[in-house]
Amino acid sequence: MTVDVQPLDPASASERVLSDYFTMRAACVAADTPEDPPLTYETSIGRLRTPPLEDGLCRFWVGHVDGRLAGSLKLALPEGENAGIASIEINVHPELRCRGTGTELLRLAMREVRETGRGTVLGFPMKPGSAGLRWATNLGFEVTHSMVLQVLLTATTPAGLWEAPAPEGYRLVHWTGATPGHLVDSYALARQAIQDAPMGQLSYRETVWTPERVRETDRELVDAGTEQRVVAAVHEATDEVVGTHVIHNFPHRPEVGYVHDTSVLATHRGHGLGLAVKAAMMRRLGEERPDLERICTTTATTNNHMIAINRALGYRTARTLNWVETPTERLAANLAALPQGRGR
């Protein structure tokens, strides 16, 4: 069966193409993550047009089978600390799987991956035991990190769970948007503490936070229309930020908040600051953003401490997800050895 692969420009694509893309993606969500709310057109196309800042340059392709949009591929080329990685996300309509659409999309994208000189291909996180994970494993991808997605439903979570004051010797401050100038230096240092988070064998690296990176990210979020909310723990004795909790809200999904980072400097751990900043964020959102229906966060499956904090606040585990990756040249060789028309 022939798969017609074409590039997709989200900014200039016709309404017909975007509608077909949404139909495919909505079917994937319904089949693969039925625990999630149904995907909306606004969320699907908004995410397509405004990928996360950390993805860097993104390129897209779609594959058609017998004139029907059967699948899509997103290639993300991050920069900075992740300039050696190419990140791949493939989706195939459940009714059209096992006909080679995903494989043909991947073959085409690999040409660009190799041209960029990136040595590692990172796959989008997938459920353990899923058909997508089996397909990736057969192509030589290996699981390098596992995490849990936890979700807090604001309407059904007792607000009393969020009564956790700052410990003695600390105060909590909050802001929306740009970081206050007098806190930028210590805030960057506190966010850098996320480097201690367990990441398994994953090649992807967390952002290296500097004051300049903080200011740059603040500007980029505004340009993208993303709302950033921060609760920070300030050490009274030094007047410096020592803990942070950051949530992003995207214009294409206004009802959901996404936890971006929660970090506490090692020298200030053990005082309950993580719980305090997270609880304060929920109190604040209840007052200022009652329209938020759910808050989503991901945590390494080995990070039992943070998982327990989230549960105490009302988060519930939605699913486990595995990150996979493979050396670029290994993947290229495995694809070359695979007969045409075989695969996902």
How high is the pLDDT of residue 51?
93
- pLDDT score of 344 more than 80: no
Which band of pLDDT confidence, cut at 50, 70 and 90, is reported for residue 18?
A: very high
How high is the pLDDT of residue 338?
87
- Three-class HEC string of 160-224: HHHCCCCCCCEEEEEEECCCCHHHHHHHHHHHHHHHHCCCCCCCCCCCCCCHHHHHHHHHHHHHC
Mean pLDDT of all residues in the chain?
96
- The tens digit of pLDDT for each residue in 42-93 reads 999 999 999 999 999 999 999 999 999 999 999 999 999 999 999 999 999 9
DSSP string, 1-31: ---EEEEE-TTT--HHHHHHHHHHHHHHHHH
DSSP state of 270: T
- The tens digit of pLDDT for each residue in 202-218 reads 999 999 999 999 999 99
How high is the pLDDT of residue 340?
65
How high is the pLDDT of residue 229?
98
What's the rounded mean pLDDT across residues 98-115?
94
Share of the chain above pLDDT 70, in %: 98
- The tens digit of pLDDT for each residue in 161-190 reads 999 999 999 999 999 999 999 999 999 999
- Domains of the chain, first to last: 4-144+324-337 (3.40.630.30), 158-313 (3.40.630.30)
- Token pair, residue 139, equals 């192509």
- Token pair, residue 282, equals 């929920």
How high is the pLDDT of residue 342?
53
What's the rounded mean pLDDT across residues 303-307?
96
**41-49 and 15-32 helices cross at what angle (nearest 10)?**
110
Of 342, 324, 319, the closest CA to residue 35 belongs to 319
What's the rounded mean pLDDT across residues 118-140?
96
Which band of pLDDT confidence, cut at 50, 70 and 90, is reported for residue 339?
A: confident
- pLDDT score of 343 more than 90: no
Which band of pLDDT confidence, cut at 50, 70 and 90, is reported for residue 2?
A: confident
Which band of pLDDT confidence, cut at 50, 70 and 90, is reported for residue 341?
A: low
How high is the pLDDT of residue 62?
97
- pLDDT score of 250 more than 60: yes
Residue 270 to residue 199: CA distance in whole angstroms: 21
Residue 141 to residue 82: CA distance in whole angstroms: 18
Which band of pLDDT confidence, cut at 50, 70 and 90, is reported for residue 276?
A: very high
pTM of the model: 0.93
Share of the chain above pLDDT 90, in %: 97
How high is the pLDDT of residue 203?
97
